[in-house]
Structure 1
Amino acid sequence: MMTTAWKQILNSLEKSLNPGLFSVWIKPLEGHVEGNRLKLLAPNAFVANWVRDRLLQVICEAAAEVMGGSPRVTVEVGAPRKAPAKKMLKPMVRSIAKPLGLPIADAPKAVTVSNWRFSFDDFVVGPSNELACAASKSICGNIFNSDHLFLSSAPGLGKTHLLHSIGQEICRHSNRNSLNVMSLSAEEFATRLVLAIKGNQVNQFKTRFREKADVLLLEDVHFFQGKEKMQDELLCTLKALNNRGCRVVLTSSFLPKELKKIDSQLVSRFCSGFLAHIGTPDFETRRRIVLEKARRLQVSVPVEVSDLLAERITTDIRQLESCLNNLVLKAKLLNRTVTMDMAWEVLENYAVHNASPDFPHIIEFICRSYDLSEEELRSKSRKRQIVLARNTAFFLARRHTEMSLKAIGERLGRRHSTVLKGIAKVEREMSQQTPLGRQLKSTVERLVS
């Protein structure tokens, strides 16, 4: 019987992994928990090696969550099982063949809503992803003019989130009980093809993807670069699905025109539908992502902490959410509240933004830090808070840009001499370590440290 601990580890892996990845490589494993050891038995050496090379780390993390400490995880090839009774053979063949992409007598079942990791409800929309989100929602209904959508972005900006949201939405609102949604990565597609070739099951592979699939959600198609035979099979699959009017959503870290060693016909096919690029989110979007994630974790995060994380991790939403997860977990383990000091400690483990900021970024940062508008910063007001903010902007612009004092002054409606005096005042307060100086030092460090 399956142990409770292994069941819990399986549940954790199912939630964290792509549904196709989980079905192909995790489901066939047999797990045995003995003390601080998790022993995994794979059906063959091919699966065992693949899991060791690519999934061992994520399995170790899931095991640690359930078993505690640092459990030892091993992957071995299981001993051949006793031949089952005839009446039990068909269910067993189905349970083994289906995850590996091999043919079975019954038609493939649809991916159920419970398999999807993300939904549109928890996708935070901003200027950088608004078009991609709208296109993704549209392809789920009947108002989209194309059955083909290509999503591109740098890693960690939401392609997978939108792909899973599309799958969940289509499954939820379909009026068909047997809708077959194929969701997998390009690497999984290639692996299934290789297994089909080795097992002399290519025709069944083609039938499954070209004739049985109603929706194809395929991630990271840049994986096919330089793989001619794989490209041929994918091209034929896309043509067949297009002829049947099936919906296809592809994702990649590159736009089609940026792909190398890809057949021109396949590039043309990638471009045949709607192309939507996801850019780097702005500060406000990143801040709302932190707050939304905190809400889902049911934890209160101080405003200054959410602002800090959004300021420091700027190019990878996956890292941003991971950082918050680790911050919350650390606070719970230590039985403390989330603080700025703790946030700084956790941030040390992440690749934060360290590039020298340009002038617009400095102005945005100052306005946010002092709760001012750009108009107030450039105004003739002599209010203490506005003057302090303006002087800090002078100081940061002089330190981090190559702008002259005159150019800095012109951008903020001030004379060269005013800029010079403002910089000198900030430097004096910081060097004397007055209360105001310490406040200024903290503000300056938040921008670039």
Structure 2
Amino acid sequence: DFTQQVVTAIKNNSLDAMKKKFCSQCDVLMIEQVHCLSGRERTQAELALALDPLIDHGKIIIFTGNQLPRTIPNMSNSLRSRLAGGIITSINPPDFETRKRILVRKAKSQGVNLGADTVEYLARHLKGDIRRIESAVIGLITKSSLLKRPINLDLATEIIHEIVGDPEPLSVTSIKDMICNHFSLEPQQICSRSRKKEVALPRQIAMYFSRKFTDSSLQVIGREFNRDHATVLHSVKKIEKQMKISSKFKSQMDYLKDQLEKQKWRP
């Protein structure tokens, strides 16, 4: 912790030695939650001074925080300018495939190999940062050990229920609304007789997800989109075929499926 090092160095009257150590021994400096330095004037001043030789020697410096440098309150101009002088980028929550890799890696680090269906299920329902995903794996392993139960889809379902809550069932209407929103269409457009690709494809996608996510019959789905049951069945098969031949299209469908799952589960 940089703040603690500064406090210790001040008490020992060894600030210069600390900064020299940083410059000579540090190839990469990473400080998390830099926003927590707000109001700590002495720490900010010493950090700003310590950064200069690191920058001059081409060292790698990484800061993380939940605010932009310009919005952190009670931050000195000298430190703020140094923070703003680098590349600023956001770190988004891990996507579906990344969540799967995190789950597999964390489980293996605990000596456990998760089944593919368990990984898939957990990745679908666990949103948020890496810590939350990893804690779910620990919870799964711990519960398995305490209850002497195998780690499988049933146990994973219980863990998700404890972490996330009960699922909100999706309806054909909610799926249609979500797809319309994604493709910037009005509900009346997707239900129209238009065969334009920019309308027909979203309609087919909405029908496909309605079939996969709900218990509604082909006839019920068809009525929602002003189509007959044969058209719904044709749309489902067409989407399935397209996903097999186009990895780009499958990625798009995975993304949309992920968005629907977010609607389905309460935070």
Scaled by the length of structure 2, the TM-score of the pair is 0.61
Is there any run of 5+ residues in structure 1 with no aligned partner, and where? 1-187, 364-373, 396-404, 419-443
Map of 1:392 onto structure 2: 214
Map of 2:137 onto structure 1: 324
Equivalent positions of 1:12-31 (< 5 A) are none
Map of 1:260 onto structure 2: 73
Equivalent positions of 1:83-94 (< 5 A) are none
Map of 1:237 onto structure 2: 50
- Do structure 1's residue 415 and structure 2's residue 226 form an aligned pair? yes
Q: Secondary structure at the match of 1:257?
A: helix
Map of 1:428 onto structure 2: none
Q: Which amino acid letter does the alignment assign opposite residue 389 of structure 1? A: R
- Counterpart-to-counterpart distance in 1, 2:206 and 2:5: 68
- Counterpart-to-counterpart distance in 1, 2:27 and 2:111: 37
Q: Which amino acid letter does the alignment assign opposite residue 226 of structure 2? A: R
Relative to structure 1, the CA distance from residue 335 to residue 393 in structure 2 (aligned partners, 3 Å threshold; closer, same or farther) is: closer
Aligned pair partner of 2:37 in 224, 231, 235: 224
Structure 1, 351-360 or 227-236: larger mean CA deviation: 351-360
- Counterpart-to-counterpart distance in 2, 1:387 and 1:352: 22
Residue pair 2:210, 2:216 contacting (<8 A) in 1 also = no
Equivalent positions of 1:101-140 (< 5 A) are none
Q: Which amino acid letter does the alignment assign opposite residue 312 of structure 1? A: H
Relative to structure 1, the CA distance from residue 377 to residue 288 in structure 2 (aligned partners, 3 Å threshold; closer, same or farther) is: farther
Residue pair 2:176, 2:206 contacting (<8 A) in 1 also = no
Map of 2:9 onto structure 1: 196
Equivalent positions of 1:138-287 (< 5 A) are 188-210=1-23, 212-287=25-100
Map of 1:341 onto structure 2: 154
Residue pair 1:313, 1:352 contacting (<8 A) in 2 also = no
- Counterpart-to-counterpart distance in 1, 2:169 and 2:72: 31
Equivalent positions of 1:57-96 (< 5 A) are none
Is there any run of 5+ residues in structure 2 with no aligned partner, and where? 180-199, 230-260
Residue pair 1:221, 1:250 contacting (<8 A) in 2 also = yes
- Counterpart-to-counterpart distance in 1, 2:62 and 2:134: 25
Say how many residue pairs are matched.
208
- Counterpart-to-counterpart distance in 2, 1:234 and 1:354: 47
% identical equivalent positions = 28
Q: Secondary structure at the match of 2:17?
A: helix
- Counterpart-to-counterpart distance in 2, 1:321 and 1:206: 35
Shift of 1:417: 9.3
Relative to structure 1, the CA distance from residue 361 to residue 254 in structure 2 (aligned partners, 3 Å threshold; closer, same or farther) is: farther
The RMSD of aligned alpha carbons is 4.2
Q: Which amino acid letter does the alignment assign opposite residue 265 of structure 2? A: V
Residue pair 1:377, 1:390 contacting (<8 A) in 2 also = no
Shift of 1:389: 1.1
Residue pair 1:313, 1:320 contacting (<8 A) in 2 also = yes
Residue pair 2:164, 2:265 contacting (<8 A) in 1 also = no
Residue pair 1:312, 1:353 contacting (<8 A) in 2 also = no
Q: Secondary structure at the match of 1:278?
A: coil
Shift of 1:198: 1.8
